[in-house]
Amino acid sequence: MDDLDRRLINRLQLGLPLVRHPWQALAAELESSSTELLDRLHELLEDGMLTRFGPMFDIERLGGAFTLAALAVPEERFEDVAEQLQALPEVAHNYRREHVWNMWFVLGCPTEQGIAQTLQHIETLIGLPLLNLPKEETYHVGLYFPV
């Protein structure tokens, strides 16, 4: 990772400029070209330095629903269960926690009924009880991790 990669990552954490050609605006700001910045972004994603780049939607404002859920997965099944969850289009992401409930995931569906149906489907598919942790209140935390 060189200086331009660092500056690009730092700047992208603040969001894209809300202009007709955001990559050209970023290129001028970072003294580069839009092609170079996009190439570097793709390389950072390919090599795993960045795991995701994309918009964040407020699914509830769009009429949908989401929840946080957890499973207590035996270690010998952990990778298989993770793959099963990742194959479901409703699962945004899943991750390991050092806890009895060791696999956590975020579920997004068009409706609350879709959440209930998908959670039931996951319990049946995986064969393990599930902990559903729906949001009670929204908090916005602006994070910035300079690199």
pLDDT digits (tens, 9 = 90+) for 70-115: 999 999 999 999 999 999 999 988 899 999 999 999 999 999 999 9
pLDDT confidence of residue 72: 98
- Does residue 147 lie in a domain region? no
- Does residue 120 lie in a domain region? yes
> Given pLDDT bands bounded at 50, 70 and 90, which one contains residue 4?
very high
**Under a CB-based contact definition with an 8 Å cutoff, are residues 73 and 81 in contact?**
yes
- Does residue 143 lie in a domain region? no
- Does residue 53 lie in a domain region? no
pLDDT confidence of residue 51: 80
Beta strand spans in the chain (E): 65-71, 91-96, 103-109, 130-133
Residues 36 and 80 in one domain: no
pLDDT confidence of residue 81: 97
Residues 76 and 124 in one domain: yes
Residues 41 and 69 in one domain: no
Residues 127 and 71 in one domain: yes
68: pLDDT strictly greater than 90: yes
- CA nearest to 128, candidates 71, 63, 60: 71
Residues 77 and 107 in one domain: yes
Residues 69 and 38 in one domain: no
Residues 39 and 84 in one domain: no
56: pLDDT strictly greater than 80: no
User: Is residue 93 annotated as part of the catalytic site, yes or no?
Assistant: yes
Q: What is the pTM of this model?
A: 0.67
Residues 30 and 69 in one domain: no
Determine which one of 21, 42, 93, 121 is catalytic: 93
Residues 78 and 128 in one domain: yes
Residues 42 and 84 in one domain: no
Mean per-residue pLDDT over the chain, rounded:
93
Question: With pLDDT > 70 as the criterion, what percentage of the chain qualifies?
Answer: 100
> And the tokens for 8?
């690009």
Residues 72 and 123 in one domain: yes
Residue 78 CA: distances (Å) to CA of 54, 61, 71, 83, 102:
28, 34, 10, 9, 9
- Does residue 55 lie in a domain region? no
Range of the domain at 24: 3-46
pLDDT confidence of residue 86: 92
Residues 86 and 129 in one domain: yes
Please give the residue that has the higher pLDDT: either 81 or 60.
81
Query: How many domains is the chain partitioned into structurally?
Result: 2
- Does residue 28 lie in a domain region? yes
- How far apart are the C-alpha atoms of 107 and 114, rounded to whole Å? 10
- How far apart are the C-alpha atoms of 87 and 125, rounded to whole Å? 12
